[in-house]
Structure 1
Amino acid sequence: MLQLEPYKGSNRRLVIAIDVGTTYSGAAYCILDPGEIPKVLSITRFPGQEGDNRSRDVKIPSCLYYDQQNKLRAVGAEATLQNTQREAYTQEWTYVRWFKLHLRPPSILPGAILPPINVNKPVLEILADYLAYVLKCSKRFISETSPIGRKILDTEGASALPIDYVLSHPNGWSGPQQNNMRRAAVMAGLVSDSDEGMSRLQFVTEGEASLQFCIATGLVNHIQQENNYVTIVDCGGGTIDLSTYRVVDSAPVTVEESVNPECLIQGSSMINHRAEALLRDKLRNSCFSTNEDIESMMANFDSTTKPIFRDPSAMSHIKFGGARDTDVRYNIRRGYLDLSGPEMVSLFAPSIDALKAAIDTQVSGMDHRLAAILLVGGFASSPFLRDELQAHMTRKGLRMFCPEGQTSKAVAEGALWFYLDHRVRARVARHTYGSACNVHYDPLNPEHLRRKHLTITNAAGATMVRFAFATIAQKGTVVTETTEFRCHLAQHSEISAISGDTDAISASVISYRGSKTKPAWRDDEPEMFNKLCRVRGVPASDSWQTRDGPNGPYRYHPFDIILLLGLTEMKAQISWWEDVRAQST
């Protein structure tokens, strides 16, 4: 169990974490009060989830209704109420779900057929609408349950106390996806589009947030000896995130990422996706193949049939109608559709097979006696999933644990523990990072000869080959939060061609997602290179060197690109020497 110190700041502060999931989302908050030990608390009350049996729900559905004018009409649990659905049918509103998966990187599940978004609205605006709704619900809950929280939220104008935010995202997401989430956060009103606003927004991967939750709540106490390995498997609605850490110190618990984390789009929603396809095919010639019947079947499958499935030798049942709804040709009796064990297994198998392979990759090369698997997340409660994985782990000589308690709130609360007390001291570089550059032409180099048509003459008169790639940090490198990676470059500018911002230097930061260890050319696999950002600086005018070239004088300035990859967000800087002092921006 993690023990926090009293907050040492001089001003009160509110921190809100939001976990937008594919099928369900959650939020948590923490009030930092000077001299008091911070407490992490989940938002446990959302509109549409009132009632004794649902009053402690920590999750709401990730769904929205828009009317025919693309105006937002209902969100979350309110969108699932019978009255809302009746009005949606009458008014022909459009139902939006799984919008999060439309934001995934192109490299994850390329070509996947997802539920379409049939509203004339960019997916970023849909995410912003959803974030704004969760924030509104969170603020209402905090005001109603915490006097200090209400006081913080009631302050306005110049005296308003700042709110910090932590947003979680799947392991496979990086710079471009974080950028999109930033834009959505600004549109939703979480933060302003300024340096100050951006400083109040942090990101954490779902895998690392789950680890922080497990450490904070004591779920890893029995396996936190030094040099042990723990693989966190966060089984969610859309994604399954795997992260493996080595325990560096046990008191206090400190870990470092030891393997590149993985993200599978094989969560519980994919089982629903396969189930719907199975039902539509199975019943295509039946009178029970209407959209209304299929939707009713899927609702019961999701809430009852799927969560309790355990025995592949037994029949499973989906309730969708009344006693008069019978068609024995399709195994439908008195409003129940029967699915055989093999049919149910076929729905789970792709997710389970992919997960087994991913776990094997994560623990490859480790002493299995020192490794343990922790299964968390809503999908982890599936008895069939657990039984299948446990059998696989036993065959591999691995220990697997499924902690009791509400691990479905692990990501939202874990994101706050990440904010309060980092336990991860080193992380693994997700990709190979570098910059676009030109290299001196070597007529004896076959790669240069092959690109002779790509040569140019620079201002100094040298023949250069374009489309080269300068590696700054290789994929798989373990880096601490303060590790700097540098690449030395230089800018040549013909004075006659200079216009605009004459003193600016700049360079691109690019990630490579292919299989090569040391990629050297961007034209070999152009689809594997992705521009992340451009760094720019303006050195003092007198720090530029003026040199003579074949076409006249030109200006020259050396500089470094600096990358910091040990944080949950990549940071890029540009650095140069000026008056014998290093400057960076």
Structure 2
Amino acid sequence: MLQLDPYTGNSRKLVISIDIGTTYSGVAYCVLDPGEVPKVLSVTRFPGQEGENKSRDVKIPSVLYYDQQDQLRAVGAEATLQSTKEEAYTQEWNYVKWFKLHFRPASILPGAILPPIDVDKPVLEILADYLAYVSQCAKDFISQSNPIGRQILNSNTPIDFVLTHPNGWTGPQQNNMRRAAVLANLVPDTSEGAARVQFVTEGEASLQFCIATGLGDDVIRRDSYVTIVDCGGGTIDLSTYRVVDNRPIAVEESAVPECLIQGSTMVNRRAEELLREKLRLSRFSTNDDFDAMMANFDTMTKPTFRDPSTTSYVKFGGPRDTDESFNIRRGILSLSGSDMASLFQPSVSAIKAAIDAQLSGVDLSLATLLLVGGFATSPFLRAELQAHADGKGLRMYSPEGQTSKAVAEGALWFYLDNRVRARTARSTYGSSCSQWYQPSNPEHIKRKHKLPTIANGSLVLSSGFALLVRQGTSVTETTEFSFQFASYCKESDELSLSANVLSYRGIKANPTWEDEEPDMFTVLCRIKATPAASSWMRGNGPVGPYRWQNFDVILLLGLTEMRAQIGWWENGVQLRSPATVVYDL
């Protein structure tokens, strides 16, 4: 278990982490008090979780109700109360769930059919509504349970936020989440406000939790490997780390993290499809019947299933609801063990394949799987993965304790005491680059129809590609990648800089021309900056005076979020200025 040092800041501070899950979300917080050792605490009470509706853990449902005018009416546990459901039915409110999965990158589960969102507002605004509600719940809880936290909240001291996301989410999704945080009034729409929002992947947050709480003390040894398998409601996140030191603990990513849309909600999705097909000709094929079946399946049948040789049962009706021809007796539907296993199998197979890919080339005697997350409590899933691990000589543990809170609390441990020293490049990154036209170069001759003339009168080719880093390369947090960007503009033009960062998905070891594989290149983001006027040099070209400069675009790719600067040389000294990473929406 990690021991933190006392907080060395000059003033009190509050940090809140929010783990937005597909089905359930979690919140944790930490009060930073000068001279005191920080404590990571979970928010354990939410409105609507009193009495019989009291949650068994520290999570809040990721659901909302909107009325016919698209106004928010209920969120979280309050949306699951019977009184809310009755009013929602009477007033025809629209129920929203699984909204998180609508943010996934296009490359993850393309063409997936998700529950429709029958609300006339962008998903970004729905996320903002949810963030605003959860944030207010956290502040209320902190005010009621922590005297110092209450003092900080009453003083209107700015709050830092850590937001988690699946392993497969990258810059564009982080950008959307930050925009949602602004819309939710978590932070102002300023550069200072943006800096108060940090991101960490769910896989890395889970690792931080395991290290901090001692769940992996017996397996985290120097030169060993740890694969975190975070089994959530929507996504399965796999991350593999090599332990480079254990006093103090320091790890490095050893493989590109994996994100599978194969969480427990996909088991539910397949179950509903199966039930609708089995009962389509029966009198129990109404939406109300299926809603009742799925509610029982989710809370009882699915989490207790363990043996494919036995029958499972789904309760949905009363003693008079019987139809033996459809295996329904006294309001209970029987499902064969093979049917139940088939609902889990796509998820199980995908996880097994991902584990094998994560540990490819690794001495498996040095590797350990840590299974965390709500779906990891499934006896069937755990048994299947244990058998797979045993067959490969892998150790696998499913740590006891409230690992359902691992991501939210792990996000705070990341903020307080990050133990990941290097990460792997998620993609092959590079930049568009222009080249001076050389009439003797065959590659240039092929492209001579693409020759714009720039301000100094020179001809350039603009379809080149400059490789920065290949996918899977280990990158430390301080490693800098740079490419030169020559900017020329008329004297009257705005003195600004805009350069593209590209992602390459092809198989070439050293791609040099974008136009040879146009479908393999994607603009990941743009780097924008406004260099000081004094940094530009002057020239006089065929169409008049112009300004120019050779800028270095400097990228930090080893962080949980891409950062950028620009640099230039004056009198033998490199000067730098901040740059903005812009994701086109």
Instruction: Report the TM-score, using the length of structure 1 for normalisation.
Output: 0.95
Whether the aligned pair in 2 keeps the contact of 1:543 and 1:579 (CA below 8 Å) is: no
Closer, same or farther in 2 for the Cα pair 1:89/1:154, shift >3 Å?
same
**How far did 1:52 drift?**
7.2
Alignment of 1:228-247 (within 5 A): 228-247=224-243
- Give the secondary structure class of the aligned counterpart of 1:454: coil
**Alignment partners' CA distance in 2, 1:499 and 1:439:** 25
Listed one character per residue, the Cα deviations across residues 409-435 of structure 1 (whole Å, up to 9, x for unaligned) are 000000000000010111111112222
Residue identity opposite 1:531 in structure 2: L
Q: Paired residue for 2:501, among 501, 509, 513?
A: 509
Q: Cα deviations across residues 537-573 of structure 1 (Å, max 9, x unaligned)?
A: 3243474141555x56654311111000111111011
CA distance in 1, matches of 2:19, 2:401: 18
Query: Contact 2:48–2:54 at 8 Å: present in 1 too?
Result: no
| Bigger mean CA deviation after superposition, 379-388 or 434-443 | 434-443
The match for 2:583 is none
| 1:473 Cα deviation after fit | 2.2
The residue aligned with 2:180 is 184
Looking at structure 2, the residues matched to 517 and 179 of structure 1 have their Cα atoms a distance apart, in angstroms, of 30
The corresponding residue for 2:58 is 58
Give the aligned partner of residue 29 of structure 2. Answer: 29
Match of 1:537 among 530, 545, 557: 530
Partner of 2:177, secondary structure, is helix
* Alpha-carbon distance change, 344 to 516 in structure 1, aligned in 2, over 3 angstroms: farther
2:580 counterpart residue number: none
Instruction: Verify: 1:569 aligned to 2:561, yes or no.
Output: yes
What is the DSSP-based 3-state SS (H/G/I as helix, E as strand, rest coil) of the residue aligned with 2:50? coil
**Inter-partner Cα distance in structure 1 for 2:55 and 2:235:** 27
Residue 379 (structure 2) aligns with? 383
1:200 and 1:348 mapped to 2: Cα distance?
A: 40
Identity %: 66
1: distance between equivalents of 2:538 and 2:323? 86
Q: How many aligned residue pairs are there?
A: 576
Which deviates more, 33-42 or 535-544?
Answer: 535-544
The residue type equivalent to 2:70 in the other structure is N
**1:290 corresponds to 2:286:** yes
Q: In the superposition, relative to structure 1, how do residues 11 and 294 fare at CA in structure 2: closer, same or farther (>3 Å)?
A: same
Normalized against structure 2, the TM-score is what? Answer: 0.95
User: 2:452 is paired with a residue of what secondary structure?
Assistant: strand
In structure 2, the residue matched to 1:93 is 93
- 1:277 pairs with 2:270: no
**Contact 1:540 1:578 survives alignment (8 Å):** no
- Other structure's SS at 1:246 match: strand
Write out aligned runs for 1:66-215 (5 A).
Answer: 66-155=66-155, 160-215=156-211
Q: Conserved in 1, the CA contact under 8 Å of 2:457 and 2:541? A: no
User: Structure 1 454/303 Cα, relative in aligned 2: closer, same or farther at 3 Å?
Assistant: same
Deviations 1:491-518 (A, max 9, x none): 233x4xx5331x3333222333444443
1:458-537 matches, within 5 Å, as: 458-493=454-489, 495=490, 498-501=491-494, 503-523=495-515, 524-526=517-519, 528-537=521-530
CA deviations over 1:458-497 (Å, ceiling 9, x no partner): 344444333322222222111111111111221233x4xx
Contact 1:535/1:572 (<8 A) preserved: no
Distance 1:219 1:29 in 2: 20
Q: Aligned partners of 1:118 and 1:446: how far apart in 2?
A: 56
Q: Secondary structure at the match of 2:569?
A: strand
Matches of 1:183 and 1:292, distance apart in 2: 37
Structure 2 residue aligned with 1:344 = 340
Contact 1:30–1:416 (8 Å) recurs in 2: yes
- Residue segments in structure 1 that go unaligned for 5+ positions in a row: none
Greater mean alpha carbon deviation, residues 441-450 or residues 302-311: 441-450
Name the SS of the counterpart of 1:161 in structure 2. Answer: coil
Amino acid at match of 1:291: N
Cα deviation, residue 234, structure 1: 0.5
Aligned partner of 2:582 in structure 1 is: none
Aligned equivalent of 1:219: 215
* 1:437 Cα offset (Å): 2.3
Distance 1:87 1:395 in 2: 53
Gap change, CA 1:116 and 1:516, over 3 Å in 2: farther
RMSD: 1.8
Unaligned residue ranges in structure 2 (runs of 5+): 578-585
CA distance in 1 between counterparts of 2:523 and 2:434 reads 18
In structure 1, the residue corresponding to 2:172 is in which secondary structure? helix
Please say if 1:260 is aligned against 2:253: no
Contact 2:296/2:316 (8 A) holds in 1: yes
